[in-house]
């Protein structure tokens, strides 16, 4: 619990906003999103299942910081156990 508080404090002090999600939202791939740099600013890529799992307050917080792009990935999610983030190759 102490380690969680250290991480939470560090994220908050860097200006990031933490959005708590439920186990149900995790099961709907709400934690399997990835933020990318788009032409017009940041975009958060997720499945439609993940998008539908967020409540209005969570979506408001997300959308004030980034554009959301979502698409049906049911075949991938139902058969592979992964979702949007797992499908995107990250290059750093």
* Cα-only R_g, the chain: 14
Q: Which residues of the chain have pLDDT under 70?
A: 90-92
Domain count across the chain: 1
84 with 33: CB under 8 angstroms?
yes
Measure the CA angle with vertex 34, ends 85 and 26; round to 5°: 70
Range of the domain at 63: 2-87
Global pTM reads 0.85
Q: Which two tokens stand for residue 47?
A: 């499945």
Q: Which two tokens stand for residue 88?
A: 């995107």
Residue 19 C-alpha from the chain's centroid: 9
- pLDDT tens figures, 9-22: 898 899 888 899 99
29 with 45: CB under 8 angstroms?
no
């Amino acid at each position: 619990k102490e380690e969680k508080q250290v991480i939470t404090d560090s994220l908050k002090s860097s200006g990031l906003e933490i959005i708590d999600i439920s186990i149900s939202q995790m099961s709907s791939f709400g934690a399997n999103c990835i933020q990318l740099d788009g032409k017009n600013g940041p975009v958060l890529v997720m499945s439609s299942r993940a998008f539908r799992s967020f409540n209005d307050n969570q979506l408001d917080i997300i959308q004030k910081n980034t554009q959301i792009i979502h698409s049906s990935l049911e075949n991938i999610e139902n058969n592979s156990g992964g979702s949007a983030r797992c499908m995107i190759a990250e290059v750093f």
